[in-house]
Each structure stands twice: as C-alpha cells, then as structure tokens.
C-alpha cells in the first residue's frame, strides 16, 4: 500500500484540495503512519504522545480529530487543541510537552479551498519525505491512547512573548498600527501582546470566516490593496499582515510601502551582526542579494540552504545559527524559538524602531534597491534528471560574466555585477520557477527572460515542447 500510494511530505508538508484530496481517509492514513514513524524512531518505555493543532479552515478540525482517532486506536496518547490555533503555537506546545511529534492541519497561505498537513518531530524539525505505512494493529480497549486537551500551554506561550519584550527592552509607545490577520487565528495573540504596547490598533479582515472574504491568506502585495488603502486612510505608523496560521508576516511602512521579506530579514540580520559578526545567519538559495550586501558591510557569516522550512531548520542546527529567514515573511530568532512566529517578529521590529528612533521607511532606506522578478513555466517534475544533467551547459552558453553557479537546489547563477538568477524546479507542482534580481529594473527583466530562453532551449533539445 505504501509503495503504491505513498504519503509524501514535501518542503511544506502535504497540501491539496480540502476534503477531496486532504480527506478524512487521508487523515486516518497519516495518523496511523505517524504512530509507525514515532515508534520506529523514538522507542521509549510507556506511552508515546502526539500533539495536534488545526487552523480555522472549514474541514481542519474534522481532519485533526480524525487523525487523533487513528493515533489513539493504535495505543498512542494525543494532546489536541479544542479550538483553532496558529502553527507557531502548535510547535511551541509540541516542544513544551515533549511529545514525540506534532501534527498541524493548516492550509497556511493557500486559498480557502485548500488544506494541508505539516508534521514535526519533538525538536520542532519539519518532517520531509515519505511517511511509511505498515499493517494496522488495533489495540484492545485497555491499551487505547487517551485524548487530552491543550490547557495551560497558552499561558506559557504568552509568557514567551512577555519575556521577549523584556529582552529587547520594548516599552509602550504612541504608535498607531494596523493588523490584518487574514481572518486567521494569530489575531488573538497579536492583539493581546500589542494592545498594551501601542496607542491604537486598527483592525481589518478580523472576522472568523472560513471563506476569507477580505483576502486570501498569503500576505503578498497583490492581496493587500484594501489593507494598504485602509492603512493610508487611517494614517497608521506600521501595518502588520500575516497569513492565517500566523507563521509569516509582511509589513507596511508609514509611507504605505509594502516591504519585502528579504529587506526585513536583512534589517534583522544587520542588527545581529552589529553586535556579533560571528553569528551565523541562514537564508535559502532564492534570497535577495540585499542580505549579501549587509553581510559584506558587517563581515557577518552568511550560509545558504535549500528552499523550504525543513532545510532551513536543518541548516540552523548544522551551523548553530542565530537567525534565519525566508522572503515569504518567515523569521526565526533562534535563541528565543526554533520556529517562525509573526508575534515575535513584530516585537523585534518594534524594538528596533523604538531603539533607533526611526520608522520603517528610514530603516529600509539604508539598503540598496534591488529589482526582482519571479516567474514560472510549465515543466514536468518527471524530467528532473534532464534538468539536472543539461542546465549547467545551457547556462554557460547563455552567459559570459558568471561569478558562481550554486546547484544545491536548482541553479543559482551569480554574476560579476552582483545580479543573480535562480532556475529551480518546484517541489510540489509541475513548474520551473525563475527568480532574478538586478539593481537596474530593465536589466532585471532582460535577465529573467534569458532564464525563460534557457528552459525553452532545454525543452526543445529534448523534445519536451
């Protein structure tokens, strides 16, 4: 059964259409496979335990309790949320309770019609790869796993934020901020933490509505037009836009600019390296050159990794890093938490603004402007071997002033003028993604088109068109 239809967790878990693909049957299979996974990898005396959380999408609670049914039927205890929680809270609870695994049911930044499963181990590492299934061995009544609910963990989670506020020396201010939680569950924690710190909070997309009437979950500039308009109308000092499960956050500056996650990450890294240039910062291979610029200024140690949360967490542990981020708006302050958390990120940014006396526009103005493009072309993942075998030659035929080619995850080409391009196969869809960046906007557009040309040439050479 496992070989015919494997349970494959990609860079962000398992994702698909709610109920038809991310179905109760799948939840049962995943629950049973989790038991096999933890018993194989963490043999202990006594009962194993799994922590389960879910967001407020229409079928998330159903999937969570279905998975819990499968897990307890095989003799493993479950600690489960009674109500929707953010993904960071699930990871926190998994680690705080020292359970063998954590399972989060969330569609994250995807549209309301999608859902997904993310699996963590006891240390907060994302599971990536095939989750093996074995024959089912239901236990007798006396050995059934017990179902318990998350209770005091929320108090401890809020205490984490309080300690971080003290650590960064953040005090109450006269700031007026806007919060857009995308109808998600992180709004509760953002409000509880920020209400005593700022003078006024403007709310948008606050209602519990699983149809996402205000905007879809991903806090991308194209989805934040109404949010930005209200921000400008209310003359706010800072805008905060999260995805619905609360692990990513994008900011709006006082002038109304929607700031890229690359620049926010570079800002955080600059303050880390100011204090200790030996601290390691981890970024995936598709990160803007602005972080390399900052690294050179401060002599900071920068390490690249493959794209996706599993690779980022692995690299953090490998290099004993102090900080990591990805351009989607996920930031990890390792000494405080091993997971991306929008509340921790907001606290850190507010502290920098307060300590410097600068607003976000002024802070970002210290960095050079890079123009970026992100496009994609159809390309079957079945042709991965062809892609890996022939790309180097095609790249070298197309470009002359190449400084470096990094093939750890696709092909990142860095050029002598500090521009770069990444051509990378998607891990979840039949597309090849082309990232490019240049200090000149027109040259960036030309560079991205050359990436398209290389893929067309690859397809033509191998009769893939």
Of residues 465 and 328, the one with the higher pLDDT is 328
CA–CA gap between residue 454 and residue 321 (Å, rounded)? 35
At a CB cut-off of 8 Å and minimum separation 6, what does 151 contact? none
Beta carbons within 10 angstroms of residue 407's beta carbon: 13
Q: Exposed (0-12), middle (13-18) or buried (19+): which is 387, by Cβ within 10 Å? A: buried
pTM equals: 0.93
Ranges of each domain in the chain: 7-151, 157-257, 261-364, 371-461
- DSSP sequence for 207-249: S--TT-SS--SS--GGG-HHHHHHHHHTT-SEEEEE-TTSS-E
CA–CA gap between residue 57 and residue 35 (Å, rounded)? 25
**Angle between helices 153-167 and 87-96 in degrees, nearest 10:** 100
- CATH superfamily label, 371-461: Alpha-D-phosphohexomutase, C-terminal domain (3.30.310.50)
Structural contact between residues 34 and 71, judged by C-beta atoms closer than 8 angstroms: yes
* Phi then psi dihedrals of residue 303, to 5 deg: -125, 135
What pLDDT, in 10s, does the model give residues 77-115? 999 999 999 999 999 999 999 999 999 999 999 999 999
Tokens of 435: 């990232």
H runs (alpha helix) in 357-413: 360-364, 384-398
Three-state DSSP at 261 gives helix
**Rounded mean pLDDT of the chain?**
94
Q: What is the pLDDT of residue 453?
A: 96
pLDDT above 80 (res 201): yes
| Fold classification of 157-257 (topology level) | Alpha-D-Glucose-1,6-Bisphosphate; Chain A, domain 3 (3.40.120)
Structural contact between residues 431 and 459, judged by C-beta atoms closer than 8 angstroms: no
Query: 385 has which bridge partners?
Result: none
1 pLDDT tier (thresholds 50, 70, 90): very low
- CATH superfamily label, 261-364: Alpha-D-Glucose-1,6-Bisphosphate, subunit A, domain 3 (3.40.120.10)
Examine domains 7-151 and 371-461 and report if their fold is the same.
Answer: no
Tokens of 422: 């990444």
Of residues 194 and 45, the one with the higher pLDDT is 194
- CATH superfamily label, 7-151: Alpha-D-Glucose-1,6-Bisphosphate, subunit A, domain 3 (3.40.120.10)
Structural contact between residues 276 and 304, judged by C-beta atoms closer than 8 angstroms: no
Of residues 397 and 135, the one with the higher pLDDT is 397
pLDDT above 70 (res 330): yes
Query: 14 has which bridge partners?
Result: 117
What pLDDT, in 10s, does the model give residues 262-285? 999 999 999 999 999 999 999 999
pLDDT above 70 (res 123): yes
At a CB cut-off of 8 Å and minimum separation 6, what does 261 contact? 248, 250, 325, 326, 327, 328, 329, 330, 331
* Phi then psi dihedrals of residue 388, to 5 deg: -65, -35
What pLDDT, in 10s, does the model give residues 16-57? 999 999 999 999 999 999 999 998 876 555 689 999 999 999
CA–CA gap between residue 21 and residue 31 (Å, rounded)? 16
Torsion of CA 229, 233, 237, 243, to 10 degrees: -30
SS3 sequence of 187-200: HHHHHHHHCCCCCE
CA–CA gap between residue 373 and residue 426 (Å, rounded)? 16
* Phi then psi dihedrals of residue 241, to 5 deg: -125, 120
Tokens of 141: 């009544």
Tokens of 383: 């042709």
Q: In this prediction, what percent of the chain has a pLDDT beyond 90?
A: 90
CA–CA gap between residue 219 and residue 16 (Å, rounded)? 20
Pairing of strands 147-149, 77-80: parallel
Q: What is the pLDDT of residue 436?
A: 96
Query: 438 has which bridge partners?
Result: 371
pLDDT above 60 (res 3): no
């Amino acid at each position: 059964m496992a070989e015919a239809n494997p349970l494959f967790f990609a860079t962000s878990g398992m994702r698909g259409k709610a109920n038809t693909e991310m179905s109760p049957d799948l939840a049962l299979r995943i629950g049973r496979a989790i038991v096999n996974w933890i018993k194989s990898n963490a043999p202990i005396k006594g009962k194993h335990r799994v922590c389960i959380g879910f967001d407020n999408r229409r079928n998330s609670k159903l999937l969570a309790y279905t998975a819990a049914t499968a897990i307890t039927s095989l003799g493993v205890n479950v600690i489960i949320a009674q109500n929707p929680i953010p993904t960071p809270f699930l990871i926190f609870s998994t680690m705080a309770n020292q359970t063998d695994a954590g399972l989060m049911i969330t569609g994250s930044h995807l549209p309301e019609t999608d859902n997904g499963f993310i699996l963590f181990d006891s240390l907060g590492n994302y599971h990536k790869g095939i989750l093996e299934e074995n024959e089912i061995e239901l236990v007798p009544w006396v050995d059934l796993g017990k179902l318990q609910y998350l209770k005091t963990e929320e108090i401890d989670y809020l205490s984490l934020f309080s300690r971080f506020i003290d650590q960064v020396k953040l005090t109450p201010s006269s700031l007026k901020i806007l919060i857009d939680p995308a109808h998600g569950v992180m709004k509760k924690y953002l409000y509880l933490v920020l209400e005593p710190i700022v003078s006024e909070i403007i709310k948008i997309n606050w209602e519990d509505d699983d149809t996402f009437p205000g905007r879809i979950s991903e806090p991308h500039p194209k989805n934040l037009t109404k949010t930005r308009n209200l921000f400008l109308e209310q003359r706010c000092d800072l805008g905060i836009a999260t995805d619905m499960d609360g692990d990513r956050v994008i900011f709006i500056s006082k002038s109304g600019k929607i700031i890229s996650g690359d620049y926010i990450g570079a800002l955080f890294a600059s303050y880390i390296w100011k204090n200790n240039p030996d601290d390691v910062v981890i970024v995936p291979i598709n990160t803007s050159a602005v972080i390399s610029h900052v690294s050179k200024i401060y002599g900071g140690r920068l390490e690249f990794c493959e794209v996706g949360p599993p690779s980022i967490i692995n690299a953090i542990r490998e290099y004993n890093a102090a900080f990591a981020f990805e351009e989607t708006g996920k930031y990890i302050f390792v000494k405080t938490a091993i997971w991306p958390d929008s509340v921790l990120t907001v606290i850190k940014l507010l502290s920098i603004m307060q300590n410097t006396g600068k607003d976000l526009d002024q802070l970002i103005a210290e960095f050079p402007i890079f123009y970026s493009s992100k496009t994609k072309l159809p390309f079957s993942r079945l042709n991965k071997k062809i892609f890996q075998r022939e790309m180097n030659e095609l790249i070298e035929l197309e470009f002359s002033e190449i400084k470096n080619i990094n093939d750890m995850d696709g092909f990142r080409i860095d050029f002598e003028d500090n521009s770069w391009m990444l051509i990378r196969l998607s891990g979840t869809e039949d597309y090849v993604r082309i990232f490019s960046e240049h200090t000149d906007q027109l040259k960036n557009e030309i560079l991205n088109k050359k990436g398209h040309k290389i893929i067309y040439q690859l397809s033509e050479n191998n009769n893939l068109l």
